[in-house]
Structures are given as structure tokens and as C-alpha cells.
């Protein structure tokens, strides 16, 4: 029976959940897969969370080098986060010919080029399922099951914190500040939520997912990214009466104009598969030339959903499915050709625009003078002010900003992807 020696570096929420899942499910995994997952090292400066599991004290380490120098350690599970020590750890792991499993999307999105290249050169496998979709096995599916199809579009909700906040704002009409405070009290948001609410966390994830899906390197800087910090209840209410749901949406699409990728608040039409994905759940909708439209929904954060993805990668390593990991290297940052993404200002989209009512202003006239068509315009009155709500025909964001000015709040209206538009990519 194959035994996989495991060192977990970083024993916080996800690390302790991973150790617990391996400990509790060890016998079931052995019986089902015929492999032994052996915990050899639990590395952290503070073992508070993992100590509660009742695991042998002999597993606890404060120096990660003990794990690297152990010839029976086959894989380093990096759950530290960040791009400093974690990057050093992965480099040293590769030098010691240790396989790697990580949940660190920020590190892979920013420094993946060097990591993937070094891992491939050293013949080291790198599992990163846990970095992108929580409990949704999107990386494995893109690397295997979806391989025969040419993908045309990915629409995704990839951050549980922001989805929880937006759900509370829409269902209960609480303010952004109130919903954020609630999320923090429930443990869904960090004390400093900037990475989540700015859209940066989602941008890291869609960069990796789209890179694998479309076989291109996608530089993080090429992803237009907008957060939810400035959203108001007026924004939410303006879409409600039309049946739209406001989500922090990541999109990567082959369009008639070219390849477009974006992260930001967007109004989803009622029939969109992700419109009703609420709370801390994530969702990914994909359009493929052979399998059509498919949607995956699952918990996007937390100890055990992420730990499940980590352990799934460990099982694949134990089963010696390294060809799957190695194949994925061929279409990852720094190895595949770089994608040429369209500027967000020039992509044609339908927009819902919210504009404060000002004396003497006529957005309808301004749009007409610019040759832009409207599907509708309404004047809405809310407790904290009056606004115009415009629904546009396809237009570019750059044009709308020029015509309507900086006070216009522009949100894409997103429908269900229906066809693969571009024959090649």
C-alpha cells in the first residue's frame, strides 16, 4: 500500500481542518483508495487550534526545516498564506524534491510563473485545488473532465465574504457597513476585509481559473477589478424592481471583440444560474462547446470545505496521478503564451447606470446626443435621495463615463452565457 508522508505548515483554520479530516477519515481513505495518508509534521509557532484535535504531541514542530529534511516527508502542505515566507517555503520544498499542495491563490496569482516553472523543472507536483473555489473542484474538472470542450465563458462568484454581505443588503436592506460588521461577527470576514471587499481575492482566483481554462497566462494586472466598498442601498434597490441580483462577479469570456476578463459588482438577470447563489456559497458557471452550460455551487470558505480540497489533492498524489498535475503546468502562468485581454473601457455590454438627480440635468438627452440607445430610464425616489436609473443598449464603459460624468455608477447587466462566439483562442 502506498504511504504518503505529509507535513502541514500553517495550522490555523484550514490547517487544523486538514489535519482533522486526515485523522478522522484516514481509515475510510485507506479502504476506498488503498492509500495511507500519514501525518508526520504539524508546523506552526502556535499549535492552539490543532492541539484541540488530540493528535500526538510528537507531530508538533516550530521549525519547518525538520519536515523538509525528513526523507519520509513526501509532500509539503502550505497553508500559511501571504507571499513572503510562503514563497520561500515553496522554493525550498522544490529544492528538496517535495511535492506541494497549497491553498495560496495570492501567491500563485502573483508569483506563479516562477513557482510553476521551477516545479516542472524539478519534476515536482503542485496541487492547488484549494486555492480557487473552496469546496468546488474546479481545478480538477478543468484539467480533466472539461478538457475535450473548448470553453467560451466562465461566470463565477468566488468570494464567500462579499456574497454574504451582498445577500444581507438585498434580502434585508441593511447597509454595507452593517452587513460587513455582521460578517465579521460570524467569522466570515477578516478584521481587515480589504482583500475580499476590494475584489482582489476574486481577481487572484479568476486569474488562475481562466489561465487553466483558456490555456493562457493571464497577468493579474490585466484584470479590471472593482470592489463593493462603495455600494449603497440605492444601488441594490435600483436593480431589485427589475428582478436583478447584485453579485461580485468574475467573468472570463471569448467575445466577438476578443478575450475579456473582469471582476466587479454586476447585476445578474433573474434566469442566470448564479442569481440565487447566496450567503457564503460560491458558484461557477461554465459554457463549453461539447458539454454546454454547467453550474457548480458549493461552500466557498471555512475550515472543512477548503480542507476537503486539500485532502483531495493529497489523495491524487498518493494514487500517483502526477500526470494530471504535470499536464496542468503546461497551461499555467509563465509557461503558456500570454493572453491579450481587452480593456474594460472598450467592451460592449448592457449597463444599469445610477445617476443622482440634479437640477437641469437630462441624461436621456446626453445619451441621445452621443448616439447611445436606452432600453429604459426611470426616476426613482429613495429615503436618502432621488436617482435616475438607466438601462442601456450595448455600450462601452469608456463612452458612458465620458457622456454621463464621474458621478455615474455603472454596473454590467449579465445574462446567461449562450454560445461560444470565437472559433479560436
Are residues 44 and 15 in contact, defined by beta-carbon separation less than 8 angstroms?
Answer: yes
Give yes or no: 205 in active site: yes
Question: Rounded to the nearest 5°, which phi and psi values hold at 317?
Answer: -65, -45
Which cell is 317 given? Answer: 498524489
The catalytic residue among 205, 221, 327, 386 is 205
Which cell is 308 given? Answer: 476537503
Contacts of 38 (CB under 8 A, 6+ apart): 3, 4, 5, 6, 72
Contacts of 37 (CB under 8 A, 6+ apart): 4, 6, 22, 26, 29, 311, 314, 315, 318
Q: Sign of dihedral through CA atoms 261, 262, 267, 272?
A: positive
Report the run of H or E that residue 119 belongs to, with start and end.
Answer: helix 105-122
Rounded to whole angstroms, the maximal C-alpha distance in the chain is 79
DSSP state of 130: G
Are residues 236 and 354 in contact, defined by beta-carbon separation less than 8 angstroms?
Answer: no
Which cell is 104 given? Answer: 495560496
**Active-site residue numbers?**
205
Amino acid at each position: 500500500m502506498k504511504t504518503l508522508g505529509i507535513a502541514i505548515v500553517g495550522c490555523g483554520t484550514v490547517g487544523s481542518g486538514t489535519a482533522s479530516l486526515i485523522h478522522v477519515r484516514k481509515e475510510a481513505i485507506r479502504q476506498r483508495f488503498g492509500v495511507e495518508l500519514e501525518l508526520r509534521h504539524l508546523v506552526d509557532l502556535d499549535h492552539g487550534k490543532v492541539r484541540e484535535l488530540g493528535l500526538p504531541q510528537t507531530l508538533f514542530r516550530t521549525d519547518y526545516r525538520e519536515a523538509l529534511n525528513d526523507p519520509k516527508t513526501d509532500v509539503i502542505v502550505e497553508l500559511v498564506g501571504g507571499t513572503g515566507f510562503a514563497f520561500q517555503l515553496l522554493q525550498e520544498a522544490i529544492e528538496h524534491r517535495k511535492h506541494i499542495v497549497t491553498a495560496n491563490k495570492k501567491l500563485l496569482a502573483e508569483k506563479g510563473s516562477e513557482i510553476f516553472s521551477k516545479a516542472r523543472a524539478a519534476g515536482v507536483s503542485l496541487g492547488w485545488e484549494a486555492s480557487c473555489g473552496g469546496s468546488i473542484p474546479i481545478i480538477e474538472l478543468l484539467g480533466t473532465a472539461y478538457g475535450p470542450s473548448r470553453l467560451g465563458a466562465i461566470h463565477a462568484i468566488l468570494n464567500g465574504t462579499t456574497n454574504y454581505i451582498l445577500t444581507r443588503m438585498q434580502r434585508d436592506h441593511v447597509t454595507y457597513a452593517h452587513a460587513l460588521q455582521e460578517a465579521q461577527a460570524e467569522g466570515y470576514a477578516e478584521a481587515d476585509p480589504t482583500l475580499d471587499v476590494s475584489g482582489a481575492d476574486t481577481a487572484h482566483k479568476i486569474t488562475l481559473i481562466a489561465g487553466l481554462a483558456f490555456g493562457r497566462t493571464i497577468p493579474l494586472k490585466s484584470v479590471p477589478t472593482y470592489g463593493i466598498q462603495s455600494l449603497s442601498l440605492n444601488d441594490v434597490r435600483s436593480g431589485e424592481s427589475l428582478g436583478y441580483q447584485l453579485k461580485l462577479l468574475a467573468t472570463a469570456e471569448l467575445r466577438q471583440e476578443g478575450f475579456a476578463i473582469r471582476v466587479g459588482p454586476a447585476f445578474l438577470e433573474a434566469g442566470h444560474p448564479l442569481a440565487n447563489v447566496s450567503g457564503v456559497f460560491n458558484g461557477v458557471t461554465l459554457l463549453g462547446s461539447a458539454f454546454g452550460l454547467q453550474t457548480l455551487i458549493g461552500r466557498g470558505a471555512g475550515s472543512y470545505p477548503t480542507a476537503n480540497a486539500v485532502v483531495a489533492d493529497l489523495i491524487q498524489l498518493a494514487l500517483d496521478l502526477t500526470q494530471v498535475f504535470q499536464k496542468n503546468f503546461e497551461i499555467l502562468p509563465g509557461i503558456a503564451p500570454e493572453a491579450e485581454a481587452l480593456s474594460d473601457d472598450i467592451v460592449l455590454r448592457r449597463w444599469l447606470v445610477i445617476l443622482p438627480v440634479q437640477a437641469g440635468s437630462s441624461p436621456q438627452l446626453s445619451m441621445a446626443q452621443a448616439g447611445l440607445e436606452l432600453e429604459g430610464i426611470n426616476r426613482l425616489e429613495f429615503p436618502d435621495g432621488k436617482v435616475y436609473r438607466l438601462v442601456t443598449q450595448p455600450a462601452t464603459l469608456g463612452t458612458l463615463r465620458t457622456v454621463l460624468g464621474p458621478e455615474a455608477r455603472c454596473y454590467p447587466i449579465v445574462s446567461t452565457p449562450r454560445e461560444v462566439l470565437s472559433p479560436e483562442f
